[in-house]
């Protein structure tokens, strides 16, 4: 699910639940745990569903670690 250009996985809770079997109500605590362990970084990106919305995207530590918003700029990483 990771976009190679942005190095981010733009994935909804519904899709995470469908692919992993993790109950929707447990996804936030699971991603928070992974973030606390520095295994996943949660990045805010522009929503594709609303002009004013923000969505979360996930970047896995150690995968293309030089490609992120700090090195590429937010404008270059938008879908």
pLDDT digits (tens, 9 = 90+) for 23-62: 999 999 999 999 999 998 888 877 777 777 888 888 888 7
Sheet holding 40-46, edge to edge: 2-3, 8-9, 54-60, 40-46
* CATH label of the domain that carries residue 18: 1.10.10
Q: Is residue 79 part of a domain?
A: no
Q: Is residue 76 part of a domain?
A: no
Q: Give the span between the Cα atoms of 45 and 75, in whole angstroms.
A: 10
Q: Is residue 78 part of a domain?
A: no
Q: Is residue 75 part of a domain?
A: no
pTM above 0.95, yes or no: no
**Is 80 exceeded by the pLDDT of residue 65?**
no
Q: Give the span between the Cα atoms of 45 and 79, in whole angstroms.
A: 9
Domain count for the chain, please give it.
1
Confidence bin at 22 (pLDDT 50/70/90): very high
Q: Is residue 10 part of a domain?
A: yes
Domain span including residue 11: 2-67
């Amino acid at each position: 699910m990771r976009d190679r250009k942005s190095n981010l996985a733009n994935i909804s809770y519904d899709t995470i639940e469908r692919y992993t079997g993790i109950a929707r109500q447990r996804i936030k605590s699971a991603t928070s745990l992974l973030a606390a362990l520095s295994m996943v970084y949660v990045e805010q990106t522009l929503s594709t569903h609303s002009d004013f919305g923000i969505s979360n995207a996930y970047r896995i530590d150690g995968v293309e670690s030089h490609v992120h918003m700090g090195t590429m700029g937010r404008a270059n990483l938008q879908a």
